[in-house]
Structure 1
Amino acid sequence: MKASPRIYRTLPRFDTQRPSAVTIGNFDGVHRGHQAILARLSECAEQRHLAATVMTFDPHPRAYFARRGQRPELIPTQISSLRDKLQALHQHRADQLILERFNQALADMSADDFIERLLVRGLNTRWLLVGEDFRYGHKRSGDVDLLRRAGQRYGFDVETIADIADEHGHRISSSEVRTSLAVGNLLRASHLLGHRYRLSGHVIHGQKLGRSIGYPTLNIRVPDQCAARSGVYVVLAHGLSDQPIKGVASLGVRPTVSQGGRLMLEVHLLDCKLNAYGKLTCIEFLEFLRDEEKFPDLPTMIAAIDNDAQSARDYFALHGL
């Protein structure tokens, strides 16, 4: 695998003038459609001796405009955390990652300035790969034709890529992944992502309630707008020992024991005791068991957790790891 990519939060880059092959997008989930784009980027960068460069935005432009317009219901859910997205882009051979802050200044930037400041001066772009309907600049005024004309002037080639479809002809998109996760359809999400859905995070201290009822949990923060359906899952925990560890996890705000809590992933490891505080773990989601519930009392909740743990054991007895 390549060395870790350089990450830039401001352009022009402070340490290089190296010419770049560039693609631009949000890359939430880094699904199979994104992977096809990244494969083409890597191939062309290698042929032309350019730095394979991914420009992405934080926050998502739609999230920015939804918050600015006080329409939180329009904020798109998030498939992957920023850490997971950057890790996936690294795995798909990016040399440079540009985390462009999406703010009012960027929203107001003209299409010509977007090209000149970010692509030409910012990245010394020599080759650019975008979707056929790619729009940019103030009020999305820039299009591919303007990019091609600018490319002739500044010396970069523009290639477009059509939407990527699966073997059934269905478009592979972040929206499709979000829809699958929202209904707990992990099989469909895996098909679109090219791997099982997963979230990573550092294990943090929780309320220690699980320990007192015989179900100690690893507590992991997830994005507030996490795309996965709140509920209980059969999972595998990676990175805590030589082998993945079987578990059962609850994703939600713990309505039985806390009021207005933040979204948390609580993972109970089956037949395993270890001190994981502060460690980074990756949780792989295998099967959706049930929705999050608010129970009338602790005994009812414990009975439900007993049942969840048994369901997870049954899953592993049938499917193995």
Structure 2
Amino acid sequence: MTVFHRNEMKMQLPDALKGGVVAIGNFDGVHRGHQSVLERALAIAAEKQVPALVLTFEPHPRSVFNPAKPVFRLTPAPLRAKLLEAMGFQAVIEYPFDLDFSRRSAEDFVRSILIDWIGASHVVTGFDFHFGKGREGGPAYMIEAGKRFGFGVKLLDAFRDENAEVVSSSRIRALLADGAIGEINGLLGYRFTVEAEVIKGQQLGRTLGFPTANMALQAESTLRPGIYAVRLRRPDGVIRDGVASFGYRPTVTESGVPLLETFVFDFSGDLYGEVCAVSFFGHLRDEWKFSGLDPLVAQIRKDEEEARALLSGVTPLGALDEAIAF
């Protein structure tokens, strides 16, 4: 799959990708609501026998409009691209979003991007997608533009779960703060996953007999501090089970910087510098402060045993889950 980044926007789109069906949105999380839009785009592209593309925006518009409160990205751009590739898209266009872009008119967006650059034959997006200065472009505008320029338009209503609740990225972020991993994974349709470079920590885990792969997540992460049953995926695709602690390590330090520390089962080696993915299968307990290292080690052994038991019986939630966590 081809990914077009910020510094490539002046390039001509390859002819093989022009005239395709374009799914438009932020798609942060690529959750089941997003998947309903994306799957419709794939179906139309297959029917028309044209490429299927995704047009999204980097950075997240909400982070541009309110930089003091950046959005916690459920799927940063590289992970989102992997999920979209697994779904079957031929290209992802990560269009640069800044204040200047937000001031461009809806007409300019349609003409310069959808028509002149992409040559879209069909556009698929959610019913609430707005674009252009002052959000002047909405569903009615897109339908009218499609009639004028000759591209089809498909707008989808909000996707609701089995309880008739709308599936949204903000809802999933709130659930992360509760540690509700099972519910989150159900809304995503795959196991919640983070990606980061493995960095050096205090190496205390090594002295305790539980060496960990340490990662610094986004500062704005809403993940609840605690202990989780996880799988770690290395860049070469090798996956191993493990148990991870996310938090502030209150027994050994009062650091204000949270870390994700993953003890990888049955593994000895050096992961430093590797960009690994950690998929979350279950929340085992909250982060606790112990009276010393001995009770901490005893609890870590219990956490390992519980995580091994949980992970021994897991099966994929679907094709996306199988692509990243199995």
Same topology, TM > 0.5:
yes
Paired position in structure 1 for 2:154: 159
- 8 Å Cα contact 1:28-1:78 kept in structure 2: yes
Question: What does the per-residue CA deviation read over 1:200-220, in whole Å, with 9 as the maximum and x for residues that have no partner?
Answer: 333233332322333211122
C-alpha displacement at 1:170, in angstroms?
2.0
The 5-angstrom pairing of residues 86-125 of structure 1 reads 86-125=81-120
* Distance change >3 Å, CA 131–CA 277, structure 1 → 2: same
Count of residues paired in the alignment: 309
TM-score (ref. length: structure 2): 0.85
User: What is the alpha-carbon distance in structure 2 between the residues aligned to residue 109 and residue 240 of structure 1?
Assistant: 39
Q: 1:267-309, CA deviations, whole angstroms, 9 ceiling, x for partnerless residues?
A: 112343222233343222122233345x58xx62563353133
Contact 1:198–1:283 under 8 Å retained in 2: yes
Cα separation, 2, equivalents of 1:126 and 1:47? 12
Equivalent of 1:257 in 246, 253, 257: 253
| Structure 1 gap segments, 5+ residues each | none
Aligned with 2:4 (options 2, 7, 27): 7
CA separation in 2, counterparts of 1:7 and 1:240? Answer: 21
User: Root-mean-square deviation (CA), in Å?
Assistant: 2.5
- Of 247-256 and 26-35, deviating more is 247-256
For the structure 1 residues 207 and 150, does the alpha-carbon distance in structure 2 shift closer, same or farther, using more than 3 Å as the test? same
1:13 offset after TM fit, Å? 4.3
Report if the CA contact (8 A) 2:3-2:92 is conserved: yes
Matches within 5 A, 1:1-321: 4-9=1-6, 10-11=8-9, 13-17=11-15, 18-67=18-67, 70=68, 72=69, 75-239=70-234, 244-254=239-249, 256-257=252-253, 259-261=255-257, 263-292=258-287, 295=289, 300=292, 303-317=295-309, 320-321=312-313
- Which shifted more, 243-252 or 34-43? 243-252
CA pair 38-240 structure 1, distance change in 2 beyond 3 A:
closer
**Worse-matched range after superposition: 183-192 or 115-124:** 115-124
Secondary structure of the residue aligned to 2:79 is helix
C-alpha displacement at 1:258, in angstroms? 6.0
Distance 1:156 1:239, change over 3 A: same
Contact 1:110 1:138 in 2 (8 A): yes
Q: Distance in 2 between matches of 1:240 and 1:99?
A: 22
Cα distance change of structure 1 residues 320 and 163 upon mapping to structure 2, 3 Å threshold:
same
User: Is contact 2:181–2:282 with CA below 8 Å preserved after alignment?
Assistant: yes
Identity of aligned residues (%): 30
| 2:12 partner SS | coil
Alpha-carbon distance change, 302 to 115 in structure 1, aligned in 2, over 3 angstroms: farther
2: distance between equivalents of 1:101 and 1:260? Answer: 33
The structural deviation recorded for 1:135 is 0.8
TM-score computed with the length of structure 1 as normaliser:
0.86
Runs of 4+ in 1 over 6 A off after TM superposition: 240-243
Q: Counterpart amino acid of 2:303?
A: S
Q: How far is 1:133 from its partner?
A: 2.0
The alignment partner of 1:204 has SS state of: coil
Q: CA deviation at 1:174?
A: 1.3
| Distance in structure 1 (CA, Å) of the matches to 2:199 and 2:262 | 12
Instruction: Write the distance in 2 (CA, Å) between the matches of 1:107 and 1:242.
Output: 38
Instruction: Work out the CA distance in 2 between the residues paired with 1:94 and 1:112.
Output: 26
8 A Cα contact 2:3 2:94, kept in partner: no
Structure 2 unpaired stretches of 5+: 314-326
TM-superposed CA distance for 1:161, in Å, is 0.6
Change (3 A) 1:103 1:306: farther
Counterpart CA distance in 1 for 2:146 and 2:39 is 22
Superposed CA deviations along residues 110-136 of structure 1, whole A, max 9, x for unmatched, are: 111111122111211110011112211
